[in-house]
Structures are given as C-alpha cells and as structure tokens.
Amino acid sequence: MKQINYTGQVWICFFGMNRSLSKTQASIQQNILDPLIKLGWRYHTLAAFMHINGNFSNRHSGEENVSIEVNGHEKLGINLYKHIKQDLFDYSFDWDSVNTHGDAWGDDFQSTKNLCRALHSLEKVTEFWHGQAGPNDLFIYLRPDMIYHDPFPFEEFARKLQQHGEKLLITPDWALYNGLNDRFAIMGRAAAETYGFRLQLISDYFKQLKSPLHAERLLKFVAEKNHLRFQGNFTEIRASRVRANGAVVHESFAPQSSLLARILTRIKGKENVEKARAVKLPYGGL
C-alpha cells in the first residue's frame, strides 16, 4: 500500500497511575514510539499520573500493601508531565454525587473511586494539548501499566482519520463489557476532547442511564452522545495490565465488537478463540 502523506502531529497521552512502567516501558518503546520514529512523524509525549503516599491495597486487583513507581516516565521522553496528588483530589471531589447511584463492582466503591481518579488524570493530560492541537492531529491515549503486544499501525490510523475526520474513535475490540474498552484509544481531535473530558459528563450519564458509574458503559455513552465515529473502527491490538506487585492480568482478547465475532466465538468456543489470540510476555523479564 502506498505510504500516506501525513502532515499532522501525534499526541501520545499517558493517564492513570504509574504502577509498573519499569515492566511496560520496553513494549511502549518498541510498539508505539519506535514506529513513529521510523515514520519520521512529529509527536509529543504527555503524562498526568496519580500519586499516593505510602503503600496501598486494592482488593479488586489483588494488590496488597504495594507501592507505585515514582519515576520511570523520563525514559519515555515525556515533554510535559503532571504529578497529581491523589489525596488532594479525593478531598476535593464530591463522592456522594457518584456513590448515591450505586456500586457497579460491588467492592465498597473502591473501583468507582479508581475510575474517577483516572478520569481526573485524563482531564489533566488533555489540558496540556487543548487549544494547541490541529484538526489533522492524531491522539493516542494510553495507560502506563500495560504491556502493548502489537505494533501500532499509525499509517492505518491516519487513513481512518482522513476518512472519518476529527470524530474518529478507535478502541480495542475485546473486553467491551456492554460498552467500549477504555484502556487505550486512538482518535481525532474532537473525539479526544470528549474522551479526555468525560468526567464532566457523568451527571448526564446518571440522568439518562440511571445506573451506577461504569467505565466501559460511560465511554460508550459519551461516544454516542457526541456522535463519535467508533462503529466499525475497532482495533485488534492487544495489551495486558501489569499490577504494582508485578502480576500480569490474564486478558481475554476474544473479539466482541461485532455480531459476526460473537457468533464465531460461539461456534469455535471462547477457549479456542482466546488461544488463537493469546500472547507471550517477552518484556521486563515477566
């Protein structure tokens, strides 16, 4: 296929908590940054990470009395970085306005709190580029605590951007949970504004869906509300979460983005589909 003439910039935006960059950085370099360098495209790396004092435990994720990594982002060549103190955010956030609608995970709102914290870090990293980016720019939003197993096909993403415009939203075709996978995404500028500022839309979510806050359902809600072009724009890129204790989460990469994929899974069996898309973990000695 003919090489695309891409004149925009790429904004690599890291959000959430730096649990394990020492174990995931190699995959980010190899499968995301190196392909951009090879293409010679202009890109910026931005990050806004939540930080906590001391150790923490998370029953839902199986992390017990562990600490997050303070450094490591320097290796990614971060152009702009924000350190967010989690205790200050927790103190200022109106938790009652969220918790009164119920606990989607049933873990005493621990996962709900982590979602809101992640959404806040999304806002902060989005503020870095907001007002500066152009209409032809491409945005990549990433969690730092994930091993990315597949090279990002940036030329394919740029072609989709030219086809669908600023409202393009590309998300993984696995782990949808009746919504959209929110662990990483590729998109145009208008979609990135919606994606990055979706904490501001949770009141609309509660009014219309009348259900507890849920990560994947929230993303699908704001995508539909803002007419983002996500249908048919899913990616097969696989990524595995790495906990602060070094444990790698077993992910199901079985595709769920279409009726055909779901039928195929039923015919072949989920176990066989997962086996076909399984990955080895060559990074960080894992």
| Beta-strand relationship, 80-85 and 184-187 | unpaired
Q: What is the mean pLDDT of residues 143-156?
A: 96
**Which pLDDT band holds residue 102 (cuts at 50, 70, 90)?**
very high
**Both tokens assigned to 281:** 């973990």
We find that the CATH architecture of domain 10-276 is: Alpha-Beta Complex (3.90)
Residue 25 has what pLDDT? 92
Residue 155 has what pLDDT? 97
| Beta-strand relationship, 138-142 and 184-187 | antiparallel
Closest CA to 234 of 202, 207, 256: 256
Residue 22 has what pLDDT? 86
Residue 62 has what pLDDT? 64
**Which pLDDT band holds residue 11 (cuts at 50, 70, 90)?**
very high
Q: What is the amino acid identity at position 13?
A: C
Where in the chain are the domains?
Answer: 10-276
Residue 255 has what pLDDT? 86
Q: What is the mean pLDDT of residues 159-177?
A: 96
**Which pLDDT band holds residue 264 (cuts at 50, 70, 90)?**
low
Angle at 116 between CA 238 and CA 144, to 5 degrees: 35
Angle at 37 between CA 36 and CA 41, to 5 degrees: 60
**Which pLDDT band holds residue 263 (cuts at 50, 70, 90)?**
low
Residue 252 has what pLDDT? 85
Mean pLDDT of the chain: 89
Residue 285 has what pLDDT? 40
* pLDDT tens column, 250-260: 888 888 876 65
pLDDT over 90 at 213, yes or no:
yes
- Using a pLDDT cut of 90, give the percent of the chain over it: 69
Counting beta carbons within 10 angstroms of the beta carbon of residue 203, is it exposed (0 to 12), middle (13 to 18) or buried (19 or more)? exposed
**Which pLDDT band holds residue 286 (cuts at 50, 70, 90)?**
very low
**Which pLDDT band holds residue 105 (cuts at 50, 70, 90)?**
very high
* pLDDT tens column, 52-84: 876 666 666 666 666 667 666 777 889 999 999
Q: What is the 3 state secondary structure string of the chain?
A: CCCCCCCCCEEEEEEEECCCHHHHHHHHHHHHHHHHHHHCCCEEEEEEEEECCCCEEECCCCEEEECCCCCCHHHHCCCEEEEEEHHHHHHHCCCHHHHCCCCCCCCCCHHHHHHHHHHHHHHHHHHHHCCCCCCCCEEEEECCCEEECCCCCHHHHHHHHHHHHHHEEEEECCCCCCCCCCCEEEECHHHHHHHHCHHHHHHHHHHHHCCCCCHHHHHHHHHHHCCCECCCCEECCCEEEECCCCCECCCCCCCCCCHHHHHHHHHHCHHHHHHHCCCCCCCCCC
- Record the pTM: 0.91
**Which pLDDT band holds residue 15 (cuts at 50, 70, 90)?**
very high
Residue 20 has what pLDDT? 84
In DSSP terms, which residues pair with 51 in a beta bridge? Answer: 85
Residue 60 has what pLDDT? 64
Residue 244 has what pLDDT? 75
